[in-house]
Amino acid sequence: MLMDISSEMIHSLLPLFMVTALGASALAVGLVEGLAESTALIVKVFSGSLSDYLGKRKGLAIFGYAMGALTKPLFAIASTTGIVLTARLLDRVGKGIRGAPRDALVADIAPAHLRGAAFGLRQSIDTIGAFLGPLLAVGLMLLWANDFRAVFWVAVIPGLMAVALLWFGVQEPEPRQDHKRTNPIHRRNLARLGAPYWRVVGVGAVFTLARFSEAFLVLRAQQAGIPIALVPLVMVAMNLVYAVSAYPFGKLSDRMSHTRLLALGLVVLIAADLVLAANNHWGILLAGVALWGVHMGMTQGLLATMVADTAPADLRGTAYGFFNLVSGLAMLLASVLAGLLWDRLGASFTFYAGAAFCAVALVGLGWSANTAIPKR
């Protein structure tokens, strides 16, 4: 929660900072966001595998959170898009280092019959930070007359608090007695990640392709004529809905067919894209953003649960790593394509294209419904 407050104070303002203060294009925003998020997801492969090899997760998580906290000042001093890109990449490398070990740690601790609820709760608390961050950013922007850089400096504080809390407040379970240090990405170990797991990886990639970066929600809000200082409220609204819905849908996933819940998530995302494409009036914009948040609450914790359900316990870090590697490449492609469509054909076409891809993904999910995607 603390790290999300820190990150979202910056990320909710960064697209506007790049466009208004640095003169960047929508394509540049999409490229920066796509490269940053894909970098984080790709790095998770190596951190997850290393946590499996060591049999320990906490040390890598602390290092990743510390790296994320210490890169925040770069945003405050950035004078070019290149510096912003460097800061985003370093920040996301930190996220990549901590992400898979943290998720594997949650899976290690949570009872199997409550794993969906556990990931839903983790996602919900995480997302509480994601709406408190933009809310704090709005207050500081109003207080300091749209001073982006001052807000970015304040974001350093909750980041450092997150590192301290993890260091002193979280106790890691002892490694299993039979744990042996073997190469998790050796062909023999990768063969243990069977077909059900790789189907989940494929489903996750399709979902990522259908859902580009939330930076474009911020740009859509600017088109609605919302004052710059208030634009982060769009992310507040999205993350509030996400936080409220993640835990109930996580609990539901412990009792409901995973495939059916994923399909419903795609239907909600199609509705969000169509609403956002239809009009840039602020009321319609908020409705689309709320639907986007419901989709996130339905699917993100569920996909993490499906990875845990289909991977051997001693390879969970590696499993999350490869899942996020594939999703990272999909995120890069989706965000760059969204930026190109936005610059050349406009915002509405970008969201209509997202809805079309969702429909294709929904057909593909229905076609694969009889395959071994895990069910509760």
Q: What is the DSSP code (8-state) at residue 19?
A: I
pLDDT at 88 over 50: yes
pLDDT at 167 over 80: yes
At 369 the pLDDT is 55
Token pair 């991977």 is found at 311
At 184 the pLDDT is 59
Task: Tell me if 189 sits within 8 A of 318, measured CB to CB.
Answer: yes
**Token pair for 149:** 């850089």
Q: For the stretch 309-348, what's the b/e string if a residue is b when 16 or more beta carbons lie within 10 angstroms of its beta carbon?
A: bbbeebbbbbbbbbbbbbbbbbbbbbbbbbbebbeeeebb
At 57 the pLDDT is 79
pLDDT at 242 over 70: yes
What predicted TM-score, i.e. pTM, was given to this entire model? Answer: 0.65
- The model's pLDDT over 6-55, given as tens digits with 9 standing for 90+, comes to 988 888 888 888 888 888 887 888 778 778 766 776 676 677 777 777 77
Task: Give the whole-number percent of the chain exceeding pLDDT 70.
Answer: 91
- The model's pLDDT over 111-130, given as tens digits with 9 standing for 90+, comes to 777 877 888 788 778 878 87
Picking from 106, 87, 110, the residue whose alpha carbon sits closest to that of residue 98 is: 106
- The model's pLDDT over 256-295, given as tens digits with 9 standing for 90+, comes to 888 888 889 889 999 999 998 887 788 888 899 899 989 9
At 372 the pLDDT is 46
| Three-class DSSP labels, 291-332 | HHHHHHHHHHHHHHHHHHHHCCHHHHHHHHHHHHHHHHHHHH
At 256 the pLDDT is 82
pLDDT at 105 over 60: yes
Structural domains of the chain in order of their starting residue, each with its CATH number: 2-168+184-367 (1.20.1250.20)
At 271 the pLDDT is 93
- The model's pLDDT over 198-219, given as tens digits with 9 standing for 90+, comes to 888 888 888 777 777 777 887 8
At 134 the pLDDT is 82
